[in-house]
Amino acid sequence: MNETSPENDSASPRYAGAYGRGRYITDEGPELPDAPVGSSEAVTAMHDHEAAEALSHLGDVAAELTPRDLRPISFNRADSRWLAGESLGSPVVKTRTATSLDQVQAAVESVGVPARLVPAVGPYSYIEVQSVEDAQRHWNGQDTLVEEVIEGVELVTIQVVRSVDPSTGEEASWFSEPIGHDVSQAVQPMPISSAARDAAHSIAVRIVQSMNDGRGLYSVTMWVAGDCCYFEDVVYGPRRIGLVTLYTQRYSQYELHARAKLGLPVDVTLTSPGAAMITERTVDVKKALALDEVDVRACEIGNIIVATAPSVEEAAARIAEVENLAMEVTR
């Protein structure tokens, strides 16, 4: 399937998404890194109660455990779709679940074509199919959501930060600027109408508040068509499409998640429009870094290209220029 928005990088069974100078606490037991962990360094977002004992070694650092029943919902697209649509009454695209070829056929016939095949669990991706035969040919044997395609939609993620408002001492929500994304690229802020923004915030905060009010950052993805929004999925914590926030916000998605878990002040201020892309192609780093406001980072998932500019259109154009350089190197 074409990857459009990979999941939370911290979703591995070994590491529970600890943030702070590369130090980790595992969810397989209360072991600690060999190196000393100072209270100012160990900022952790825990997923499992079994790791709670490890927190006792962190001194005065305050951290909140994520409710156990939050994780399955945020990593099971079928469950989160049911929660949003059936339980909360949020708009969702017409969806059917398929676990066999016969069910794929029935699902496509129900939602109509074109349709999208979306994995029920795991990294977000989709394949758009034009017929039942096309869908059956692309089905990978896994639990799959078959959803209708609405024309003229954009895939947008709203990152919601749930924490304590220091001015009131009460739980509160903050919204980062919308992140628009497609198969390989993300831009922030994604231009959407005021009505769509209000609808997106309403959908996002309702689903976040329904998930046991666990503190932290939630990435809520939806399809936006004009002033209408349709819930797609929710991931607890940062996800790869949010890499653009490393350059566009005062605090990146990783810092916001950690601050929320610790009850520290939250600031979602956008500092610059930007665009980001992950590519497996070889990048001509010297030429790329010579471009205005462009940075390249190498990591295990590929080369991350990030650009800032006075507008998202200019930032996206700079990303495209780097991509062209990568294509020249690859040929």
C-alpha–C-alpha distance, residues 299 and 243, integer Å:
12
Which CATH superfamily includes the segment(s) 154-330?
ATP-grasp fold, B domain (3.30.470.20)
- More confident call, 65 vs 107: 107
C-alpha–C-alpha distance, residues 60 and 304, integer Å:
36
pLDDT tens digits, 214-229: 899 999 999 999 999 9
What integer pLDDT is reported at residue 273 of this predicted model? 98
Q: If you search the block for the tokens 């074509």, which residue do you land on?
A: 113
C-alpha–C-alpha distance, residues 96 and 331, integer Å:
42
CATH for the stretch 94-148: 3.30.1490.20
Q: Residues spanned by CATH 3.30.1490.20 within the chain?
A: 94-148
DSSP 8-state assignment for residue 190: P
- More confident call, 34 vs 111: 111
Reduced to 3 states (helix: H, G, I; strand: E, B; else coil), residue 91 is coil
Q: Residues spanned by CATH 3.30.470.20 within the chain?
A: 154-330
Residue 73 binned pLDDT confidence (cut-offs 50, 70, 90): low
Average pLDDT on 147-160 reads 94
Say which amino acid occupies 102.
D
Q: Which long-range contacts (CB under 8 A, 24 or more apart) does 135-141 make?
A: 135/104, 135/105, 135/107, 135/108, 136/101, 136/104, 136/105, 138/1, 139/98, 139/101, 139/104, 140/1
Average pLDDT on 233-257 reads 95
What integer pLDDT is reported at residue 330 of this predicted model? 59
Is residue 91's pLDDT more than 70? yes
C-alpha–C-alpha distance, residues 270 and 176, integer Å:
8
CB 233 within 8 A of CB 221: yes
Among 21-30, 135-144, 153-162, 308-317, the least confident range? 21-30
Is residue 49's pLDDT more than 80? no
The residues that bridge with 214 in the sheet, in sequence order, are none
Is residue 31's pLDDT more than 60? no
Question: Based on the number of CB atoms within 10 Å of its own CB, is 74 exposed (0-12), middle (13-18) or buried (19 or more)?
Answer: buried
Helix-then-strand count for the chain, H and E: 10, 16
Average pLDDT on 1-12 reads 40
Q: Are strands 216-225 and 228-236 parallel, antiparallel or unpaired?
A: antiparallel
| Percent share of the chain, pLDDT over 70 | 75
What integer pLDDT is reported at residue 23 of this predicted model? 31
Residue 213 binned pLDDT confidence (cut-offs 50, 70, 90): low
What integer pLDDT is reported at residue 212 of this predicted model? 67
* Residues in the chain, overall count: 331
Is residue 162's pLDDT more than 90? yes
What integer pLDDT is reported at residue 77 of this predicted model? 87
What integer pLDDT is reported at residue 316 of this predicted model? 96
